[in-house]
C-alpha cells in the first residue's frame, strides 16, 4: 500500500524504538514528507512527531466507527 493513501487514517502501527521490540500503537498518519522518507504521526494523546518511514510498520488500518451504520439492535 502507498503511504500517501494512509494520510488522515487511524492505524495500528509498530514503531521501531531502537534496541527494544517494536511497540504497537494506535496512530493517525498526518503527513508524508516530499521525499517519502519521513512520516508525521499523531498518537492517541495528541502528540505529533516525525519518524523515518523505515522505522514504521503498518499492522492494520482501523475503521472509522462513526461512519458505520448502526445495526438494528443498537
The model's pLDDT over 20-52, given as tens digits with 9 standing for 90+, comes to 667 889 999 999 999 999 999 999 999 999 999
8: which DSSP letter? T
3-state secondary structure of 1: coil
What pLDDT band is residue 71 in, cutting at 50, 70 and 90?
Answer: low
Q: What is the pTM of this model?
A: 0.77
Say what the pLDDT of residue 74 is.
57
Give me 62's grid cell.
Answer: 482501523
Give me 35's grid cell.
Answer: 521525499
Q: What is the mean pLDDT of residues 6-24?
A: 83
What pLDDT band is residue 63 in, cutting at 50, 70 and 90?
Answer: confident
Q: Pick left, alpha or beta for residue 70 (phi over 0 → left; psi -120 to 50 → alpha; otherwise beta).
A: beta
Amino acid at each position: 500500500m502507498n503511504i500517501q493513501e494512509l494520510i488522515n487514517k487511524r492505524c495500528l502501527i509498530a514503531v521501531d524504538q531502537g534496541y527494544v521490540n517494536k511497540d504497537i500503537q494506535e496512530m493517525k498518519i498526518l503527513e508524508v514528507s516530499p521525499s517519502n522518507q519521513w512520516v508525521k504521526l499523531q498518537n492517541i494523546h495528541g502528540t505529533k512527531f516525525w519518524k523515518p518511514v523505515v522505522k514504521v510498520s503498518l499492522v492494520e488500518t482501523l475503521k472509522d466507527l462513526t461512519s458505520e451504520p448502526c445495526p438494528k439492535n443498537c
